[in-house]
Amino acid sequence: MSGVAHDGNNKPATAARIYDFHLGGTHNFAADRAAAQAITQMFPFVPLLARTNRAFLGRAVRHLASQGITQFLDVGSGIPTEGNVHEIAQEIVPEARVVYVDIDPVAVSESLDLLAGNDNATAIRADLRDPQSILDHPQVRKIIDFDQPVGLLMVAVLHFVSEDDLASRAVRELLTPLPPGSYLAISHGSAEGMQRDLANLDNAQDVYKRDTATPFVLRTKAQVASYFDGLDLVEPGVVWLPEWRPAPGDPQDFADRPTESGGICAVGKVR
């Protein structure tokens, strides 16, 4: 990893680098920090949401690795930061293989720096809205064996696909080549059930729409559940982020009020 990013005054903000800033990372530019701070000013709890979501990713990867999954396709992986998929998976399965996928070239570049010397992990630049470009990518084909179960991770990414049909189609197309025994893990932004004053929500969405190429849309629990049609849901099913198999050491910010966590998540197994 290459430390603090260059100032990048001319670089537009991206969702990946805004997320990195919320997580306390250093791989972000001036535009990312300005956008993140504007959102945090409207919703001071957003950095807590980011950490809660990151904790779910870690729990999901540990579960999949414990179930014998040895290869992971992480779509919308973002900027490398503490608790990367390959670090978690390779602690449990040293030979685990990981391909990180992101649309942001800086996220991919930083990932490749981090992964230098790790022959079982790489990063590619590709667009979730074009799933076949991911599946056909030479590096994906080199590292992922589609004859063996795969852990498909789509954590905090589908809400950046604003068209409902396109988001659903992307999930289905990425699942199509995965053999039985594979898993899908998703988390997704949602305001359903929140008791907070969300009067500034439209303004926050405007920040992403104005300052990034990836505006976001919030969806309901029923919409997120639909991504798992035809899969066997892993207990406890489609739940709020803090409710999915909480573990010691997890952030406790929303443990007693999970609907305030701003995210719905689930893990499903391919039949």
Prior bond of 179 cis (ω within 30°)? no
Tokens of 190: 């949602």
pLDDT at 188: 96
Over residues 6-27, the mean pLDDT reads 68
Tens-place pLDDT, residues 91-139: 999 999 999 999 988 889 989 988 999 999 999 999 999 999 999 999 9
Tens-place pLDDT, residues 23-75: 777 777 888 888 778 766 766 677 788 889 999 999 999 999 999 999 999 99
pLDDT at 243: 97
Average pLDDT of the chain is 86
Q: How far apart are CA 156 and CA 83, in angstroms?
A: 15
Q: How far apart are CA 255 and CA 268, in angstroms?
A: 23
pLDDT at 204 > cutoff 70: no
State residue 258 phi and psi, 5-degree precision: -60, -30
For residue 145, CA distances in Å to 61, 121, 228, 241 come to 18, 13, 22, 30
pLDDT at 215: 65
pLDDT at 106: 83
Residue of higher predicted confidence among 144 and 104: 144
The CATH number for 46-197+217-270, chosen from 3.30.465.10, 3.40.50.150, 3.30.160.270, 3.90.1010.10, is 3.40.50.150
Q: Is the dihedral of CA 207, 213, 219, 225 positive or negative?
A: negative
Q: How far apart are CA 233 and CA 245, in angstroms?
A: 13
Closest CA to 185 of 238, 120, 223, 147: 238
Tens-place pLDDT, residues 219-259: 999 999 999 999 999 999 999 999 999 999 999 989 999 98
Phi-psi region of 133 (alpha: psi -120 to 50; beta: other; left: phi over 0): alpha
Q: Which residues contact 100 (CB under 8 A, 6 or more apart)?
A: 74, 77, 85, 108, 111, 121, 122, 123, 124
Q: Please state, as a whole number, how many other Cβ atoms lie within 10 Å of the Cβ of residue 26.
A: 14
In the chain, where are the structural domains located? Answer: 46-197+217-270
pLDDT at 9 > cutoff 70: no
Bridge-based pairing of strands 183-189 and 231-233 is unpaired
pLDDT at 78: 85
Q: How far apart are CA 243 and CA 70, in angstroms?
A: 25
Q: How far apart are CA 132 and CA 126, in angstroms?
A: 10
Please give the model's pTM, rounded to 2 decimal places.
0.85
